[in-house]
């Protein structure tokens, strides 16, 4: 238990939280220099004897890059792995949708890349809000990832000489991104999925598809330390509530961008697994850090169910512009002469041009549209779109070359909008895409709940306040293939109490899941789950989106609370518990999104600075750039759940310090 103190009255969020003890990562060997820490940690972490591994069970929730890679690797090492996903096959995890590519410090282009430079770019891109040790390790293992994937048969793009090809991505000046046309995530995931299925055949891994984790089982040891012991899942076909116990639990459940309703995430992406763990004691790190991707297909109507990303790689060759004059906004873009176009990114950021980091590109698009210079159809009286134009690229490289590079993206765009991007510039607008926030973990990727490991997008990640393009795939695979297998052994090497299904912790967890399901099915209210989800999403987008203010966030918290109370009294879920019931699945997810949304707003309200993807209007420079306040906010906000309504979350600060890189203002001008 933590000692809680009185609220920090100076915070904008005073009255919404209490301040707890600071928290620190104790696993990264502080005595070693940043570049040698991982080697040092690996050399001294405890090991598990191969003969004992087959007696140890590891539960892995999630089969995306992080979960599938971890499952395959731990299976190969000889552990018993139980793998879970909510889709009908592990291969469908949302990592499959990643388009652009994966970074690695291979320096195949001989353009000055190195582990240090990838590390530097990650820390700078993250606006000095990531942990140096973690970011360094990520860069360090990146090269191994490419080797591993190639050995598995991942068909990366190649040059005529047969060697691997690269492209550039936003926020950097080297070309270090490996790709498989516009389907990099798919190819990487299929590689990991096949490795996982190979272990199923070998008998080390058991997969449980169409199973949704609804609760974490925890116990306390003699020292009062909480440990993860297993999970409660629902068989989504039969409705059966099952208990799975293990020696450690890994959550690799992806991001929670769907709290905004509209995002580029999959329909089923959720926070439930992470949130249930949070309610059982796991800290939530920096929940307000959200990445809004600048180039998505704009919203076209009210019934829209999700948004589609157009890969950032398009910014390599596409030029972004809006008309200089408002009266040109409704015109056919091809009729607007060159001198009347404002290539605003090239104008404001001459050094990086169209390749500025995502948060900057997104915010500038918003400003252009707020200024009345957006393009495309009016939605609520404003045109929300900017042009991404390939006319110059087609002139320079030829249509065929453009098609080879981006063909499938162009097809996808044409399919959705019924417009031909070879002829007319694409219209794009920012959309929620990724969350840097997530469960807090130490250097070992272990949460403050012992034996609970968190990998991939689900952890608060190595990306700080903003992630660079092509770095999430890198992180998922780094965590799953190369980090977790070492660090989890350190925990498993010690003996821990084992429990069975009669343990009160199991009985309690199962009962709470059943009661919740029963509640949803018996409320008999009048509003559908989706209608609540949409309304919550609107609030989040409006007040906790690209630009946040004290006033807006305070209002959002109040409105979310009202809506949540109404949801529990008035939601309408039909069908039964004992069958495939998609409304019931969604009701559980939306219930958790409400609680998460509130915490995101509190976190955003407390952080009265701008950093990376978190932009507080109150904290900007004279020319409108994000202004960090290092003296006050150079910390990770790790939030502890304090209980249902009326109990304020507890903030634990992990202070950030920089040894290998000097902390300075981020500039892309």
Partner 1 sequence: MKITLNIWRQANAAAKGAMQKYELDDVSEDMSFLEMLDLLNENLNEQGEDPVAFDSDCREGICGMCSLMINGQAHGPEVTTTCQLHMRSFKDGETITIEPWRAEPFPVLKDLVVDRSAFDRIIQSGGYISANTGSAPEANNLPVEKAKADRAFDVATCIGCGACVAACPNGSASLFLGAKITHLGSLPQGQPERDTRVVDMVAQHDHEGFGGCTNIGECTAACPKEIPLDVISQLNKDLRTAMKHGY
Catalytic residues: 358
Residues 271-300 binding ligand FAD (CB under 6 A) are: 272-273
How far apart CA 385 and CA 412 sit, in angstroms, is 18
Q: What x-and-dash track marks residues 185-224 binding ligand FAD by CB under 6 A?
A: x--------------------------xx-----------
190 forms part of the interface with partner 1 (CB under 8 A):
yes
186 forms part of the interface with partner 1 (CB under 8 A):
yes
Least distance to ligand FAD, CB of residue 126, Å: 14
Give which of partner 1, ligand FAD, none residue 155 binds (C-beta under 5 to 8 Å, depending on kind): partner 1
* Window contacting partner 1 (CB under 8 A); options: 39-47, 266-274, 330-338, 634-642: 266-274
65 forms part of the interface with ligand FAD (CB under 6 A):
yes
Give which of ligand FAD, partner 1, none residue 470 binds (C-beta under 5 to 8 Å, depending on kind): ligand FAD
**Cβ contact 635:654 at 8 Å:** yes
Binding test (CB under 6 A) with ligand FAD, winner from 98, 174, 441, 553: 98
How far apart CA 459 and CA 310 sit, in angstroms, is 25
Distance (Å) of CA 254 to CA 11, 16, 266, 438, 474:
30, 27, 10, 9, 14
Least distance to partner 1, CB of residue 156, Å: 8
Listed in sequence order, the residues at least 6 apart from 427 whose beta carbon sits closer than 8 Å to its beta carbon are: 297, 298, 375, 376, 385, 386, 387, 388, 417, 419
Nearer to ligand FAD, 435 or 651 (CB): 435
How far apart CA 307 and CA 258 sit, in angstroms, is 11
388 forms part of the interface with ligand FAD (CB under 6 A):
no
122 forms part of the interface with ligand FAD (CB under 6 A):
no
180 burial level (CB within 10 Å; 0-12, 13-18, 19+): buried
Binding test (CB under 6 A) with ligand FAD, winner from 115, 145, 472, 513: 472
Least distance to partner 1, CB of residue 221, Å: 31
1 forms part of the interface with partner 1 (CB under 8 A):
no
Closest CA to 231 of 246, 244, 218: 244
Binding test (CB under 6 A) with ligand FAD, winner from 4, 18, 87, 528: 87
State how far Cα 188 lies from the chain centre: 17
100 forms part of the interface with ligand FAD (CB under 6 A):
yes
DSSP codes joined into one string, 567-611: HHHHB---S-TTS--HHHHHHHHHHHHHHHHHHHHHHHHH--S-B
Least distance to partner 1, CB of residue 293, Å: 13
Nearer to partner 1, 197 or 609 (CB): 197
Binding test (CB under 6 A) with ligand FAD, winner from 34, 48, 74, 93: 93
Backbone angles phi, psi at 653, to 5 degrees: -100, 135
Q: Let me know how long the chain is.
A: 669
What sign does the dihedral 371-375-381-382 (CA atoms) show? negative
Task: Indicate the pairing of strand 382-383 with strand 378-379.
Answer: antiparallel
When CB distances to ligand FAD are compared, the closest residue is 64
203 forms part of the interface with partner 1 (CB under 8 A):
no
Q: What x-and-dash track marks residues 223-242 binding partner 1 by CB under 8 A?
A: --------------x-----
**Cβ contact 444:487 at 8 Å:** yes
The residues that touch ligand FAD, with contacts defined as CB under 6 A, are 61-67, 84-87, 93-95, 97-102, 184-185, 212-213, 252-255, 264-265, 270, 272-273, 309, 433-434, 456-458, 470-474, 476
């Amino acid at each position: 238990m933590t000692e809680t103190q009185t609220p920090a009255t100076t915070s904008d969020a005073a009255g919404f939280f209490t301040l707890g003890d600071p928290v620190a990562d104790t696993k990264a060997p502080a005595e070693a220099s940043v570049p040698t820490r991982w080697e040092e940690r690996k050399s001294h972490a405890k090991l598990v004897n191969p003969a004992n591994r087959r007696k140890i069970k590891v539960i892995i929730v999630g089969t995306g890059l992080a979960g599938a890679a971890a499952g395959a690797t731990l299976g190969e090492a000889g552990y018993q792995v139980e793998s879970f996903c909510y889709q009908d096959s592990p291969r469908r995890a949302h990592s499959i949708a990643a388009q652009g590519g994966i970074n690695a410090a291979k320096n195949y282009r001989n353009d000055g890349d190195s582990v240090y430079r990838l590390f530097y770019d990650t820390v700078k891109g993250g606006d000095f809000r990531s942990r140096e040790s973690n970011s360094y390790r990520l860069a360090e293992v990146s090269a191994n990832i490419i080797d591993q994937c190639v050995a598995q048969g991942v068909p990366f793009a190649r040059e005529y000489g047969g060697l691997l090809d690269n492209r550039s991505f936003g926020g950097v000046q080297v070309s270090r991104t490996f790709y498989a046309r516009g389907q990099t995530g798919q190819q990487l995931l299929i590689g990991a999925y096949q490795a996982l299925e190979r272990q199923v055949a070998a008998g080390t891994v058991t997969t449980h598809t169409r199973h949704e984790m609804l609760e974490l089982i925890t116990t306390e040891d003699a020292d009062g330390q909480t440990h993860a012991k297993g999970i409660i899942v629902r068989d989504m076909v039969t409705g059966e509530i099952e208990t799975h116990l293990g020696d450690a639990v890994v959550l690799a459940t992806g991001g929670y961008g769907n709290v905004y309703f509209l995002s580029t995430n999959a329909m089923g992406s959720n926070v439930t697994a992470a949130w249930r763990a949070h309610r059982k004691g796991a800290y939530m790190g920096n929940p307000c850090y959200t990445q809004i991707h600048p180039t998505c297909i704009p919203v076209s109507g009210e019934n829209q169910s999700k948004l589609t990303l157009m890969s950032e790689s398009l910014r390599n060759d596409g030029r972004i512009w809006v008309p200089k004059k408002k009266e040109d906004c409704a015109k056919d873009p091809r009729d607007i002469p060159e001198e009347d176009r404002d290539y605003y990114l090239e104008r404001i950021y001459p050094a990086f041009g169209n390749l500025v980091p995502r948060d900057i590109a997104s915010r500038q698009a918003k400003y252009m549209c707020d200024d009345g210079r957006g393009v495309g159809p009016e939605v609520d009286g404003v045109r929300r779109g900017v042009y991404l134009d390939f006319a110059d690229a087609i002139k320079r490289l030829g249509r065929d070359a453009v098609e080879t590079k981006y063909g499938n993206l162009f097809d996808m765009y044409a399919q959705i909008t019924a417009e031909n991007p070879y002829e007319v510039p694409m219209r794009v607008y920012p959309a929620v895409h990724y969350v840097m926030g997530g469960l807090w973990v130490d250097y070992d990727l272990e949460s403050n709940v012992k034996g609970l490991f968190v990998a991939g997008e689900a952890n608060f990640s190595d990306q700080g306040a903003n992630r660079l393009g092509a770095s999430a795939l890198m992180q998922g695979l780094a965590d799953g293939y190369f980090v977790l297998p070492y660090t989890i052994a350190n925990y498993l090497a010690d003996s821990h109490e084992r429990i069975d299904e009669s343990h009160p912790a199991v009985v309690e967890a199962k009962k709470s899941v059943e009661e919740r399901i029963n509640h949803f099915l018996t409320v008999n209210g009048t509003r559908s789950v989706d209608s609540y989800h949409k309304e919550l999403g609107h609030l989040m987008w409006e007040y906790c989106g690209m630009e946040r203010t004290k006033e807006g966030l305070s209002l959002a918290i109040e409105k979310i609370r009202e809506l949540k109370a109404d949801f529990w009294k008035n939601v309408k879920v039909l069908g039964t518990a004992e069958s495939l019931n998609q409304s019931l699945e969604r009701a559980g997810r939306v219930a958790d999104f409400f609680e998460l949304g509130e915490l995101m707003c509190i976190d955003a309200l407390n952080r009265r600075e701008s950093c990376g993807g978190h932009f507080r209007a109150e904290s900007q420079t004279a020319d409108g750039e994000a202004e960090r306040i290092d003296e006050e906010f150079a910390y990770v906000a790790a939030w502890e759940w304090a209980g249902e309504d009326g109990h304020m979350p507890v903030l634990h600060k992990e202070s950030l310090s920089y040894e290998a890189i000097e902390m300075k203002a981020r500039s892309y001008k």
